[in-house]
Amino acid sequence: MSEARYRSLFNSIDAGFCIIEMAFDAEGVARDYRFMEVNDAFARQTGLTDAVGKWMRQLAPDHEQHWFDLYGRVATTGEPIRFENAAQALDDRWYDVHAFRMGPAGARHVAVLFNDITDRRRSELQLIELNETLDRRVEEAVAEQARAEEALRQSQKMEAIGQLTGGIAHDFNNMLGVVIGGLDLLQRRLQRGDTDVGRYIDGAMEGAERAAALTQRLLAFSRQQPLAPAAIDSNRLIADMSEMLTRTLGETVTVETVLTEDLWKAKADPSQLENVILNLAVNARDAMPDGGRLLIETSNVEIDAQHAADAEIEAGQYVMLAVSDTGSGMTPEVMAKAFDPFFTTKPVGKGTGLGLSQVFGFVRQSGGQVRIYSEVGHGTTFKIYLPRFWGAEAPAPLRAAAQPRGGEAHEIILVVEDEQRVRHYSVEALRELGYGVIHASNGAEALEIIRRGEAIDLLFTDIVMPEMTGRQLADQAIALRPDLKVIYTTGYTRNAVVHGGVIDPGVNFLAKPFGIRQLGGLVRAVLDEDRSRP
């Protein structure tokens, strides 16, 4: 090829091209390079003019050392390289560079082919910056949405709390009004010497009992009521309730049952399950003012992992109880709020709005789930899933006798209660029942009485007391008197004998508030029991 044709081809390419000669110091470190040849594009892309024959440090004294190192390595090893890099001494321009040695080993000539990619790199950097800005704004938007959602949750929570406290205040004020009013009238009549006061006492008692029932419903809704789970034959429980259901629902409602044979035992508190079925039955009756049909069904159900996640329960085997009616049904909006406390569609004075929330709380506390299926004009079905009972059946907890016989003066009960008024009531009630009573205001005082050798048949102790709990007292008392029987009482459900809302096995427990009949029934049952309780 002629020199002219070579020169024409050399200058026609768009890429910058140059041939350089490397200069090394005595230690073999590349220190500079001289331009032997350059094409026309070289000057356009670097801004360096009249470069041939000149050294790079002469043209750009601040040129970075790593450029010399890269080209020096090509000259010494003969291995070509390709890289992208910025040249700060050349106005921070970016280059895509391909360098290779010219000549045999030992030659110091390197050919460099390069393209100015500054615009591309700046676009890429702008895109990266734009993406970072976008990511930051997305994060800010997500954070703002999270804050808005949290504010909405707080608002909804406060609305729910407001509805809850408003409902509690309304119901309690009504009940306390009955109690206070009845006692006020009782006091006035007695001051006048009037002995016909039974109706005022009955009214006050009814108001107090309704208030106590309301607290139990609230505990059920919040999954804090003390439960005594046992193995339940649901078919038998429903059959035993049939007469009561028929009487409660009236002649216009037909009660039918479809009970699966070989039904598994369910694990739940039997008395609370009865309340749930009765609650649902009464709701069904109210949804059928002109009469209708109530259907109760049972079946065995196995829930796999996928369906368990959807149902928000653990996978496993469950006993299903379904209660269906042919009533008015519910709208989707009503179904969404059906389990909310104090929510009701009934007229004022016809319901507290706690029935279904109590059902929901009990079932969830029992490790199960409840679902509603309803359509306006086509009735409603509640399906309750209770865990299958596994293992040996534990002895059923003692139940207070409905009509207990009275106590004997030689049957001594030690009452331990730190609240003076409650202690006074318990002592007077037990004496009224005929028992001999010793009392103490704390655990240390009670232990001192036991150590003195008093003939005590039963320890009746509050659980939540300062310095020493009722459980700690009972453990030390039984160590001194292994035959001593114990009944625990409290109004607080998270304590030493109730764990996860479940009463510990073998524990005799009486929830506050209690009446003299409940107290007398359980005391009599425990004293008459042959085996000791821990």
Nearest to 339 by CA among 389, 388, 279, 386: 279
Which residue type occupies 503? Answer: I
- The answer to whether residues 375 and 236 belong to one domain is yes
pTM confidence score: 0.48
**Has residue 64 been placed in a domain?**
yes
Report the alpha-carbon distance of residue 527 to residue 200 in Å, rounded: 34
* Residue in the block written with tokens 């504010």: 151
- The answer to whether residues 234 and 383 belong to one domain is yes
**Has residue 252 been placed in a domain?**
yes
> What is the CATH classification number for the domain harbouring 75?
3.30.450.20
DSSP H helices in 192-269: 198-221, 234-249
- The answer to whether residues 266 and 373 belong to one domain is yes
Report the alpha-carbon distance of residue 302 to residue 317 in Å, rounded: 4
**Has residue 124 been placed in a domain?**
no
What domain range is 31 assigned to?
Answer: 3-116
Contact 422/462 with Cβ under 8 angstroms?
yes
Report the alpha-carbon distance of residue 328 to residue 350 in Å, rounded: 17
- The answer to whether residues 272 and 332 belong to one domain is yes
- The answer to whether residues 295 and 340 belong to one domain is yes
Contact 495/463 with Cβ under 8 angstroms?
yes
**Has residue 128 been placed in a domain?**
no
- The answer to whether residues 28 and 73 belong to one domain is yes
Domain termination residue (choose one: 162, 190, 221)? 221
Length of the chain: 534
- The answer to whether residues 245 and 206 belong to one domain is no
Domain termination residue (choose one: 80, 100, 116)? 116
Domain termination residue (choose one: 116, 150, 175)? 116
Q: How would you label 287-307 residue by residue, b for 16+ Cβ within 10 Å and e otherwise?
A: bbeeebebbbbbbebebeeee
Residue 256 pairs with which residues in a beta bridge? 295
Neighbour order of strands in the sheet with 253-258: 253-258, 292-303, 316-325, 380-387, 369-374
> What is the CATH classification number for the domain harbouring 519?
3.40.50.2300
- The answer to whether residues 249 and 321 belong to one domain is yes
> What is the CATH classification number for the domain harbouring 312?
3.30.565.10
**Has residue 38 been placed in a domain?**
yes
**Has residue 123 been placed in a domain?**
no
**Has residue 403 been placed in a domain?**
no
- The answer to whether residues 257 and 362 belong to one domain is yes
- The answer to whether residues 57 and 157 belong to one domain is no
DSSP states of 257-326: EE--TTPPPEEE-HHHHHHHHHHHHHHHHHT-TT-EEEEEEEEEEEE-HHHHHHHTS-SEEEEEEEEEE-
Query: How many structural domains are present in the chain?
Result: 4
Contact 501/232 with Cβ under 8 angstroms?
no
Report the alpha-carbon distance of residue 475 to residue 244 in Å, rounded: 42
Is the omega angle on the peptide bond into residue 482 within 30 degrees of 0, that is, cis?
no
**How would you write the pLDDT of the chain (534 residues) with one tens digit per residue?**
566 666 676 677 888 999 999 999 999 999 999 999 999 899 888 989 899 999 999 999 999 999 999 999 999 999 999 999 888 878 888 999 999 999 887 789 999 999 999 989 889 889 998 999 888 898 888 888 878 777 766 665 555 555 555 555 656 677 677 777 778 778 887 888 877 777 777 877 777 777 766 666 555 444 455 667 788 999 999 998 888 888 888 888 999 999 999 999 999 888 888 888 888 888 888 888 888 999 999 999 988 887 777 777 888 899 999 999 998 888 888 888 887 776 776 655 555 556 787 788 888 888 889 899 988 988 999 999 999 988 765 555 555 555 667 778 889 999 999 989 889 989 999 999 999 999 999 999 999 999 998 889 999 999 888 889 888 999 999 999 999 999 998 876 555 455 455 556 667 888 888 888 889 999 999 998 854 444
- The answer to whether residues 323 and 283 belong to one domain is yes
Q: Could you give the angle at which helices 470-480 and 443-451 cross, rounded to 10 degrees?
A: 10
**Has residue 131 been placed in a domain?**
no
Q: How would you label 206-227 residue by residue, b for 16+ Cβ within 10 Å and e otherwise?
A: ebbebbbebbbbbbbbebbbbb
- The answer to whether residues 245 and 378 belong to one domain is yes
Report the alpha-carbon distance of residue 8 to residue 52 in Å, rounded: 17
Burial class (CB in 10 A: 0-12, 13-18, 19+), 410: exposed
Instruction: Please write the tens of the pLDDT for every residue from 283-318.
Output: 888 888 888 999 999 999 988 887 777 777 888 899
Report the alpha-carbon distance of residue 417 to residue 428 in Å, rounded: 13
- What distance, in Å, lies between the first and last C-alpha atoms of the chain? 112
